Every structure is written in C-alpha cells, then in structure tokens.
Structure 1
Amino acid sequence: MTGVEVTLSTGRVAGRALDGVNRFLGIPYAEDPVGDLRFAAPRPRSPWPGVRDATRPAATAQRLRFDTDPAIPEPIVAGTDILHVDVWAPSHGPETSGSGASGPGASGPDGAGCPVMVWIHGGGWESGSSSQPWFDGATFARRGIVVVSVGYRLGVEGFTPFPDAPDNRGMLDWIAALEWVQREISVFGGDPGQVTVAGQSAGGGAVLCLLGSPAATGLFHRAIASSPAVLRAPAVQPGKDVSAASLAAGGAGAVDEFHRRLRKDNPFTLPFRPVVGGELVPEPPLEAVAGGHAGRIPLMIGFTATEFEIIADALPWPALVPGAALVAMSQKIPREGLRALARQSGGRSLRRSVGAVIDAAAIHSTVARAAETRAAEGDPTWVYDFTWAEGNGPRHCSDLPFFWAVPDAENVERFLGEPAPSSLVEAMHRSWVDFVTTGDPGFPAYEPDNRQVRQWNDPPAVIGDGLAAVREVWWPEGTG
C-alpha cells in the first residue's frame, strides 16, 4: 500500500493505492452541517490548508442504531464531516484501454476519462453510510470505473419537513455531491460526461427522484435503481411544537431524541422520505421518470423476488394483518389488485401472503410502474428480477453482493445463507460494469411488445412478460 495525492479546487487530499486502485475516503463536498447549517441547504466547502487525510472513513450521518442485526453492516463514526464522498479510482485506465496510464488522472480508451458511478446508499432515509463494507468500489475500479459513494443527511436532518427550513435537505446533498463530481472527478481520471447515478432501496428511490428533478438535469447520464423505494404517503410532519431552529439550538442530542419519537409514533411506516412539491420534486417521481429529459437517460431498474417477506416474519401475530393493510392503503393498491395477490398467494401461509402484499406495495409496484411508463414513451429501460433462491432466498439486499462482486465481504455469506455462485456474481457484476460503461447491460430492453426481463438466477435467463404478476396487481384489467 502506497500513498497517493491529488489536488482539488478546495485543496490537496492524500489517499492510498492498493492492488491497482486509488482510494480516497471522506473528501468533503460541502461544509459540515452544524449550528445554523444543520437544517440549511448544503454550503460549498471552503478551501483547507495543507494536505487533508483521506485514508480513513469520515463521520456517518447515522448516529442511532435501530436494527440490532442489519443485513449490511452499519459502521457508525462520530464527527460532523458527514457531507463527504469516498472515491475509488483505477490506478491505470480501463482494462480494455491498454493505455498504461498510471496514478490519479488516468485516462480511459482513446484518452477519454473513465466512466463514473455515483452511489447513493439505502437505509430507509435514516441509516446506512458511504463506507458500508458491501459498497467497496475496488471491484469496479479494477474494471476501469471511478466509483463515488455519497454521504448525506439522514432522518430528521435530511428529510423531515419544517416550515423554517428548506425541504429535501438530503436530496440537496445528493445534488451538491453530483455537482462536486462535475467539478472534480477528472482529477481522479473520471469523465464528467459519463456519470451513472445508482442506488438501492431508499437510494434507488433517490435515483428516481433525481431523474424527475429539474435541479439534477445534466448532472448524470445513466441511472440504476435497485429495489427502489418510492412511498406514496406524505412524509411525517413534525408537529406545531417543533421547528428546525429549536432542534438546531438543541444540537445533535435534541435531533436524536426527536428522531426516536417519530420512530415510536410510526411503528408500521417509515417516517422519512423526500417531499413532493416545490422546485426539487415538482411532481411524484413515478410521474416524472418518463419522457422529456428523464426519458433520454437510460435506466436499469429491478427488484428481488421476495423483498420484504422477512418483515412479515418479524411482525407479531396481532400486527400482521393490520400492518399489511396499512402498507396496502398507504401505497394505494387497488381492490382488484388485492384480489389478484390473494389468488397468487393461494396455498401459502398467512405470513408469506402478508409478505407478498408488502413486496407488491413497497418495491415491485415501483419497478413495474416506472418500467411501464417509460416503455410506453419508448424510453431506454432494462428490468431485472433477482430470483436466486438458495440459502435464505432472494430477499431485500441479497442481490447487492452480486452486483458489487463482494461475496466475501463482512456478513454476506451469513445473510445469503449459502456461498454466492461465482458465475452468477460475475454475470451480475458485469451487467453493471457494461451499463455504466456503455449504457447497455447486455440483455434485452423492456419494451411494450414483449416486456422482457432479465431473471438473475443460476443460470440467468430472459423472461417474456416478466412483470406479469405485478402488472396483474396494479392493472387488473390489463395494459394491452
């Protein structure tokens, strides 16, 4: 391992080079959100003197731990520098270039910069971080891609709407990070004209929000939404007795206590999410992902086959049906769609049936609606369904170690329940590499005449009308 330095517009940073990858952790893209900035729009970072150490993880926005055994380990690092990016860059150009370039600023084919993937982590808009071990960008960097993982404000600080603060502060952070990429990524060998924004779960919902946001126009050129969460119910309001100013005056302790209160008062729903309305998200994300500027951006989108059945396993019996009913109503599953789910769940246990309702409402519907809307407009769209059923099955997050090619990362094998087949890891990882590099993942696009879906199993397959079951729930009369 050797040291490596680059010069940004705000100063020098020192990272590490290891096995052909330059790693820089915790590079600030905005001022620390403390004091008067805690609930403000992100402010551009002032220059720093000397060389900033970028060899260790920076502070995490997540300060509270609600899940005692999260699928993806959630490191919590104290500090205030939460508005930062982690960067993994090839020490040389892409494997196909043969350029022999080395060090920061290495170029891609024909002297062009390397393609860039900007990652927005998930976690229900209240947990997760840029430095979670499943999101080690080294595997992509070794294939000629610069990876940028974004730290952003979460929970109350990022998404609770207050009358005395701008809405969607976490989303403003995403946009500020994308603007940082446009200014600085060439220093790392990246091409600001070849940026893919990608995310999973809440991060996948972030991608769909950004697709429809006028403020993000021109900041990225491809998009990957993995198990995207787009919740239709409005964000939880703070109440008249709480303001951004009063919480900011109380500091992190007051914010965390209010976060716990919102969590306690909303046991069956996520209290945080982007707010629809205004300049950032002028219309519901699923109405803005097709046509116009959004429609010109290639989108790969997909889900796991049994996303949230594990939630049904965790619900106590008295809460099982009411919890599913609340999710179904908040996501507006049509009555005939519920009957379709009942038919599809014939012979399954009550818990499995409830899990199917949660899956359909929370994730599967989002993918189907986005795919159908874009296909009707002729927008370039690719859809996948992760169905690998070995071990613990295709549940939420189980596809990530495959796409990131990290089968040996912390907690992966225990979460999957079986070792990940190397051939499937390679195929799924290659699909993201190809999409980020060329805009084509290597399987057929989702189009109205055949609705082909890539089924990720061992071996992979392509399925015609691969969203038929989901379409039956949301469009019981058919879509033609």
Structure 2
Amino acid sequence: MSERPRVRTAEGVVQGLWRQGHAVFRGIPYAQPPVGALRFAAPAPPHRWEGTKQAVEFGPVVPLSLPIEVPPQGTDWLTLNVGTPDPGAAGLPVLVWITVGGYLSAVSSDPMYDPAALAEAGVVVVTINCRVGAEGFAFLDDAPPNRGLLDQIAALEWVQRNIAAFGGDPGQVTVGGMSAGAGSVAALLTMTSARGLFRRAMAHSVPGLFSTPALARQATAAFADRLGAAAPTAEALRDIDPWYLAAELTAFNAGLHAHRESWGRLTETGTALCPVIDGEMLPETPWLALTGGRASGIDLLVGHARDEFRYFSVMSGKHGTFTEQDAQAALELLAPQPDGARAYRAAFPQAGPEELVETVYSDALFRMPSQKLAEANAAAGGTSYLFELCWVAPVLGGILGACHSLDLPLAFGTLDCPVGTQLIGEQAPPEAVALSRELQQAWVRFITTGDPGWSAHRPGEHLTRVLDTESKTVPYPEQASRQIWAGHSPDPFDLQPLARPSMSSIPIASTPRASRSGG
C-alpha cells in the first residue's frame, strides 16, 4: 500500500491517501462553486479536469451561521469525501452521510464523521458538504427554493456516476443524517428528483422543521431588510460577502423571539431559514406524502434520544430554572392543538414545570417527528426500524441524560472526537465502547441487508429497540406522548394568527458545539 490510491471518476482522476488500512479521498467537487452568477442557483455539474487532482485535503467549509468563529475559506463548497475499504473492490455497500446541522452548518471535515470504523467493517462512506443558512434556504423570489436539498441530490447523482470506481455498489446506497441531516433525509424520501438515487435511509432525531411559503417569504424579507437589501432576491443579495451574510444570519436567529407573536413555533428552533414546502419540489411534508400514498416507503432506520432537549437546556444555562409560566407557554406553543396542553398535564400528572418543558420540547422538535416518520414509511409500504437511545451521557454527573447528538460518536465509533469527549469523557467507559460497537454493527447490518437486527416497527405493535447498557426490543417507550400526538402529523411552521404566551428563548439550532454536527 505504499503507492497512494488513484481512482478515475467521470470528471477526472483523483489521488487520495491510505489511512488505517483504508483509502480516503477528500474535497472532490460534485458541483461547481456556487458563487458569482451561480450564487443562489441550482447546483451546476462539476467541471472535468485533465491530469490528476489531489484529493487529500477537505474542501472549504461552507459559510456557517453559528455563534462560533470559523475563518472564511475558499468558495469550492460543494465537495464530498469518500472512505473506502478497497478502491479495487466491487459491490460494497455505501453510506452517504449528510452532515447538516440546524440547516446552519455542514462540516464534513468534523472528526466525528471519520470513516475508519465503518470502512473496516466493509462500508464505503461518503460525507458531503452542501449549502446551508441563507445560501441554501433563503426563500428568494428569483432563485430556486431549497437549494441545500438540491445540492444533496447533486451529490447523490455524483455517487451514482462514480461510486463503483471506489469499490461501491450504486444499487446499495443508504442515505443518512442526524437532526437537520435527518430532516433532509425525510425530504429526500418524498422528492421526485431523488428517486432511484438511494435504496435505504437512516434518520436520527428527525426535526419537523419545514416552513410554509408565507412564513419563509416573511422571514427572508425580514432578514433582507436587516441587511439593507432592496428586496429579498438573489439579485439584491448576490454581492454581499457570503461569510458576512452567514454572520448576519447568526445574529438574526439569536433575535427570533422578537417575532414570536407572528412566527410562532419557528422562533423556538433558532433557525429562521429552513426547507420550504414550496408546492413543486416539496409539495407537502414527508409525513403527509408517505401516509397519503404519494411517496413509496423503503427500508428505514429511524430513531431519537430519550432526552433530546436536555443538551440545549443545560448548555444554555436554563436547565433547572423553568417556571410554571414557562411550562404553560411551551405547552400552548408546541403541543398539538386544540387540547394538547391539557392532554400533557393529564398524561404526566406528577410532572413539574421542568419535566413538562423538557417533554414537550423533546416531543415536538424531535421525538414525535421521528416516530411518526417510522409509521408513515410503514404506511407507504416500507419497512421501518425504530430505536430510542436511553444510555446516559456520563459527563457532568449524568445531567445531560440520553441527549441530542450522543448517538453520532457512538455510531461512527469516534468516541475520542470533540463531541464524543464532551458528552462521554476523555476516557470512554467500557459500556460506551460496547454500545458503540452494538450501534455500529446495527448500522452495518442495515446498510448491507436492510435489517439492523431487531423487529420492525409495525402498526399496532410499535416495537422499538432501546439502546442502553443492556439493549432490548420493547413496545415504544414514549407511548403517552405518541397517544397525545395521534392524528397530528408535524405541520409546516406557518404564520401565527394569534398571539401565544411568551417564555424564555432557547435557541435550539445555535447552541455551541452540538450545532456543528447536530441541531
């Protein structure tokens, strides 16, 4: 293995590196840089090149709308990375992982996504960058909506053209993501332009984060007004520096609570600009498309953490401070209408304000959209496998619980990455190593065969794999919440006709660190 690996793609030859027994190729363009005349446009096919392109460095990070400092990088944002056990092999299963967090970040170079463990198990791993924030999701009058999703489709098309040259099987592609990446997967399940580009899907902590055109238009107009732009158009925004635009969106998102009376639930997400139910590319939400028979089900591995909201409340300093007023405001804003607030209090009669806030936030933002995606996919003829992560993050005395983002370092086997050490500790305990191995094996089995190793989640049974020190398959653990949300699909966020009670704002998508890879 002394000679560096070379692969001929449809666009040209790339040369990568050998690393820990597998080959890696980084920063491969799957579309042209979306700048200049191509800014805010649909992704354009990549240029061909002569000679050999060095694929040893990650591509530039897309402009991030996060409260962390990332220096501006180059403009060749639309790149992907491939980790393969053997470029000379054939027919290996493929995982395409969408690294989007909060629809605000896409950092495929994050060490959490290191492909080493999965490549060792025989999987070709592709991680992608795509446009996020205003570049990917501002709703502009003269530009295609959902450009971030269009980028993902372009990356999947690249995989179909080229993955066989890296040892992968284009007919055995699984697309996966966590949080906003999982929301992207849910959208891809139902998009006509994505059909035939993947065979299976994995979605961890699916957010119900889609906007109506009316809300998206108003949010984009308010953002453009903040910038002093003449109009919410690509023409008006095209000359604004992308990194300045991203920084301004960070500040804009931090002040969403000021719009609560008109924008309602959207202001609790910390993300003003997200996928839009545009009537064409996304005619309706994934849940409605699947249950209505307008999209076909597939093999789907979907799940959530038990304590999804805990990370955000702890890291924002709000944990332990919620009042009865906060609880009532959260219930009236986020619980399904018209009687969700009453239903939560009846289902959890012993719960204090803290537990009520945590439960309804976890349910509304991640748990119920995930569980309902499993049900919707099964209704559409697919096979759904549901899990709930219940193993408690051991840091900070266990206060984080089984929180949002904990599953990713476990699944990728990257316990020593920054997120892993933040949640699990500098030295992972034996039970973390064992659970990591279990989750990895479930992933590999699912990517290879469509079956992670436990019973499917079927109507009437709702069987769920509880991932813990001793994992088991049981009826869905969050049954009380499931019953409260029965008959309520995650609706797109819309303009709020009536004022709702106010509570202290917790910017879910812009919490430091988790937002880089989750959120």
Q: Same fold (TM over 0.5)?
A: yes
2:410 alignment partner AA: F
Q: 1:95 maps to which residue?
A: none
Q: 1:437 maps to which residue?
A: 448
State the distance in 2 between where 1:470 and 1:380 align.
Answer: 23
Give the unaligned 5+ runs of structure 1.
Answer: 69-74, 92-103, 108-112
Q: Is the 8 A contact 2:293 2:380 kept in 1?
A: no
Q: 1:255 aligns with which of 242, 245, 253?
A: 245
Q: 1:97 maps to which residue?
A: none
Q: 2:79 maps to which residue?
A: 84
1:416 deviation in Å? 2.6
Q: 1:140 aligns with which of 105, 118, 132?
A: 118
SS class of match (1:277): coil
What TM-score do the two structures reach when normalised by structure 2? 0.81
What TM-score do the two structures reach when normalised by structure 1? 0.87
1:358 alignment partner AA: Y
Report the CA distance shift for 1:67/1:323 in structure 2 as closer, same or farther (over 3 A). farther
Q: Is the 8 A contact 2:67 2:250 kept in 1?
A: no
SS class of match (1:354): helix
SS class of match (2:101): coil
State the distance in 1 between where 2:482 and 2:456 align.
Answer: 17
1:337 is the counterpart of 2:340: yes
Q: Is the 8 A contact 2:210 2:277 kept in 1?
A: no
State the distance in 2 between where 1:328 and 1:233 align.
Answer: 20
Identity of aligned residues (%): 35
Q: Which runs of 4+ in 1 moved over 4 A?
A: 290-294, 315-332, 343-349
State the distance in 1 between where 2:357 and 2:172 align.
Answer: 42
Once structures 1 and 2 are overlaid, which stretch shifts more, 113-122 or 346-355? Answer: 346-355
1:370 deviation in Å? 1.6
State the distance in 2 between where 1:341 and 1:173 align.
Answer: 40
1:18 deviation in Å? 1.9
State the distance in 1 between where 2:296 and 2:233 align.
Answer: 38
Q: 1:24 maps to which residue?
A: 25
Q: 1:131 maps to which residue?
A: 109
Q: Is the 8 A contact 2:393 2:403 kept in 1?
A: no
Give the unaligned 5+ runs of structure 2.
Answer: 223-229, 258-267, 395-399, 489-519
Q: Is the 8 A contact 2:322 2:357 kept in 1?
A: no
SS class of match (2:95): strand
| Residues 143-191 of structure 1 deviation map (CA, whole Å, 9 limit, x = unaligned) | 1111110100010000010001110000000000000000011110111
SS class of match (1:453): strand
1:379 deviation in Å? 2.6
State the distance in 2 between where 1:399 and 1:205 align.
Answer: 16
Q: Which has the higher contact order (CA 8 A, sep 6+)?
A: 2
Once structures 1 and 2 are overlaid, which stretch shifts more, 297-306 or 391-400? Answer: 391-400
1:469 deviation in Å? 2.5
State the distance in 2 between where 1:325 and 1:259 align.
Answer: 30
Matches within 5 A, 1:15-54: 15-54=16-55
State the distance in 2 between where 1:188 and 1:282 align.
Answer: 35
State the distance in 2 between where 1:469 and 1:77 align.
Answer: 47
Q: Is the 8 A contact 2:297 2:379 kept in 1?
A: no
SS class of match (2:358): helix
State the distance in 2 between where 1:244 and 1:336 align.
Answer: 42
SS class of match (2:100): coil
Q: 1:357 maps to which residue?
A: 360
1:382 deviation in Å? 0.6
Q: Is the 8 A contact 1:388 1:458 kept in 2?
A: yes
Q: 1:100 maps to which residue?
A: none
SS class of match (1:59): coil
* CA RMSD between the two structures: 2.6
State the distance in 2 between where 1:328 and 1:35 align.
Answer: 45
SS class of match (2:275): coil
Q: Is the 8 A contact 1:290 1:373 kept in 2?
A: yes
| Residues 75-112 of structure 1 deviation map (CA, whole Å, 9 limit, x = unaligned) | 76711111010110012xxxxxxxxxxxx2312xxxxx
State the distance in 2 between where 1:146 and 1:345 align.
Answer: 45
1:105 is the counterpart of 2:88: yes
1:386 is the counterpart of 2:376: no
Q: Is the 8 A contact 1:451 1:467 kept in 2?
A: no
Report the CA distance shift for 1:46/1:232 in structure 2 as closer, same or farther (over 3 A). closer
1:312 alignment partner AA: S
State the distance in 1 between where 2:436 and 2:166 align.
Answer: 27
Matched residue pairs, number? 454
